[in-house]
Amino acid sequence: MKAALLACAATICSAATTQSWEMSGYQDFSRGRLEGLSLSRDGKLTLGPHVTTVFDSGQAEIWSVAPAPDGSFYVGTGNRGRLFRLDAAGKTSLVWTSDHPEIFAVAVDSKGVVYAGTSPDGKVYRIENGKASEYFSPGARYIWALACAPDGSLVVATGDEGKIFRVTAAGAGSVYYETGQTHVTSLAFDAQGRLLAGSEPNGLLYRITGPGKAFVLYDSSLPEIRAIIPAPDGTIYAAALGGSVAKRTSAASAAAVTSSAGAVPTVTTTVTVTDQQAGLNPAPKPEAAKAPAVAAAQTSVSASSTTEYTGVERSALYKIAPDNTVETLWSSKEENIYDLAMQGPSILFLTDAEGRVYKMDAAAPGNATLMAQANEGDATRLVPSQKGLLAATGNFGKVLRLENGEAAGGWFEAPVRDAGTVARWGRLSWRGSASGLSFRTRSGNSARPDATWSDWSNPISNPAQAAITSPNARYVQWRVEFSGGASPTLEGVTLAYLPQNTPPVVHSIGVTAQPGAAKAASSGSSAAYTVTVTDSAELAGAGAPQTISRGASQQIQISWQADDADGDKLIYNLYFRGDDEAQWKLLRANMTENTYVLDGDVLADGRYFFRITASDRPSNPVNLAREAELVSAAITIDNTPPVVTPGAPRRVGSALELSVDAEDRGSALRRCEYSIDAGPWTPVEAADGVTDSPYESFPIRIASFPAGEHLISVRVYDTAGNAGLAKVVVR
């Protein structure tokens, strides 16, 4: 059945009632950017340590930082393999430039002798008095970690065969332990002088007590043990993650190829574990794989495999007690832990999310404070110093210092808020200190702040005068600045706004009539007639006017579908008008249901239209309420049967011929049939070959018509299913 329709255009926007954007608690504030502030686990922003840049290497990455006995630090970089010295006064000097692109590992012994491990084609160099010499070549591709043992020997962690070497003198080294893993990624010595080692790709943490003798302290569900910190009481802290090795091998391979054959792209393959795989059954760990050999030809492309876990923890911090019991202190699905450090009774860890440094009381695990945020895209190493923590970063190869004591000031920048449509901004309110806080806002109509956004507003520091002056727009952002002296705190911020209201949408109108059982049985027609018009533009105006039939005791049902993008409550008005009428007549107003039943006798034969209007007035102020409407296809109501007029019958030989005229006022004729002496019905087609107009003539010819008196009944149906009857007696 075809139907004409009207569509109502709608503007996508948000509810026209006042909304509030509230940020409070740790999870909310952790989604913003901050500098010079700390975020406690109970969701309070306070002044934190001041972060300063103490060294800019000019290199792509800082991979390793090692303290020396004199208070200085040695810094290994990539992709040019340079070793720098950062003295206690903050002065830096270039100590050595390697022939290899990456220095992943640096260690300094008790005498101040420096050891540096280079990659790829891993070698260990000894640097003393400004002179470097090759100290040990393990025949491995990568040197991942170096550690000076209590007995004066040097321990070397390698990949891609996962071996640990012990070196006692230049060129005098041997395999101390072979893990069977692909890489040994971290080294440390516990309080008893036993060697601890972390591996990849099965995330095993070893305690090695002698050549070839080891005990697995923990088998992590994550691929790599990235960092190990032994505590004086025998507790061991370990950080695990996935993907760090692949990142570093990609950098090393790319640098090696670039240096030998120009710029050659690095292909990274990402393996994603589905939520189902990573649910109740832990995801299988990747099989150990050989690292690719260094490309020698100019056309070679290095490949590495980065393992990323989707929907599960990306990194975790473990506590292994002296009795070997293990507790997970912290885990994250968004951040990777790259290094650990101890500071008194606290454990510190560094993540790659904007270079964040967290602090956790070892005696009260689980309450990690976001101590500082460097706002750097990558972070690699965390080392305590006398003046504060040193954090090394990638991408820009810097060393930052988190100084002891409270910063003089700081700021927090909230994420962008999407109001859904252009909104009118209200007031800003906050919970926290009465002084020392100054807020600003800005707004725009692009999802990310750019040059098209407004400037930051004038500062707001008085809660009684906190009206937002930024222009009406779809997106808004706020920023708060902390000033020192009063030690301000911030616990929550609320921004009120009124979005533009979205009009409702009427999707469809359906008109249905149910004919009585007698009519359905006699006509053989369908049990129901339905006409539906939708808001789909593809069907608009697609059909001719439709016809609805009903008996005197029947009802007509009008139903519609509508919704509101804001979730507002809707009320409906239903109207009708005849085809030859100019004004709409109200059938019923302020309906909350989406169906109306109309008595079948109230509309005479003719063509009608129905209109539904939907308003979101119950959920919005009168001046902001929006309305939408949809008009049905033309509906023809026809209750009058055709008038059937038979002509005089005549015999032609043994046959009987009869002409019947039929006419209908409301709709076209559709079928004619006759019956002899109450026998079966026989169909007859119109004289012009098609029964399709309000007036038709039907010729009836009955061959071998029997002699005697007989009754011929003629029945003609119109489009609405109304039947007109006539009879002819033949003698």
- Across the range 164-183, mean pLDDT stands at 96
Confidence label for 31 from pLDDT (cuts 50, 70 and 90): very high
Least confident of 53-67, 230-244, 517-531, 704-718: 517-531
Residues 6+ apart with CB under 8 A from 533: 3, 4, 5, 6, 508, 509, 510, 539, 630, 631, 632, 633
Dump pLDDT digits (tens) for 289-336.
333 333 333 323 233 333 444 446 789 999 999 999 999 999 998 889
pLDDT at 541: 40
Q: Which of 134, 141, 135 is nearest to 157 (CA)?
A: 141
Confidence label for 347 from pLDDT (cuts 50, 70 and 90): very high
Cα 68–chain centre separation: 46
- pLDDT at residue 673 is higher than 80: yes
Least confident of 172-176, 255-259, 594-598, 720-724: 255-259
- Across the range 672-693, mean pLDDT stands at 94
Confidence label for 533 from pLDDT (cuts 50, 70 and 90): low
- Across the range 585-594, mean pLDDT stands at 94
pLDDT at 397: 86
Cβ atoms of 205 and 218 closer than 8 Å:
yes
pLDDT at 529: 42
Q: Which amino acid is at 446?
A: S
Residues 6+ apart with CB under 8 A from 496: 18, 19, 20, 21, 425, 426, 427, 428, 429
Is 251 exposed, middle or buried (CB count within 10 Å of its CB: 0-12, 13-18, 19+)?
Answer: buried
Residue 569 in tokens: 């409550």
- pLDDT at residue 706 is higher than 60: yes
- pLDDT at residue 690 is higher than 90: yes
Is 710 exposed, middle or buried (CB count within 10 Å of its CB: 0-12, 13-18, 19+)?
Answer: middle
Decide: pTM greater than 0.95: no
Token pair 């509230």 is found at 22
pLDDT at 86: 94
pLDDT at 723: 92
- pLDDT at residue 216 is higher than 90: yes
Residue 77 in tokens: 């970089």
pLDDT at 588: 94
Cβ atoms of 213 and 179 closer than 8 Å:
no
DSSP track, 513-537: E---HHHHHHH---S-EEEEEES-G
153 vs 484, residue with greater confidence = 153
Average pLDDT, the chain: 84
Q: How open is the CA angle 399-490-41, to the nearest 5 degrees?
A: 65
Residues 6+ apart with CB under 8 A from 518: none
Cβ atoms of 85 and 73 closer than 8 Å:
yes
Provide the strand spans (E) within 310-394.
315-320, 326-332, 337-343, 346-351, 356-361, 369-373, 381-385, 388-392
pLDDT at 482: 95
Phi first, then psi, for residue 627 (nearest 5°) are: -135, 150
Confidence label for 278 from pLDDT (cuts 50, 70 and 90): very low
Cβ atoms of 527 and 514 closer than 8 Å:
yes
- Across the range 188-194, mean pLDDT stands at 95
pLDDT at 535: 60
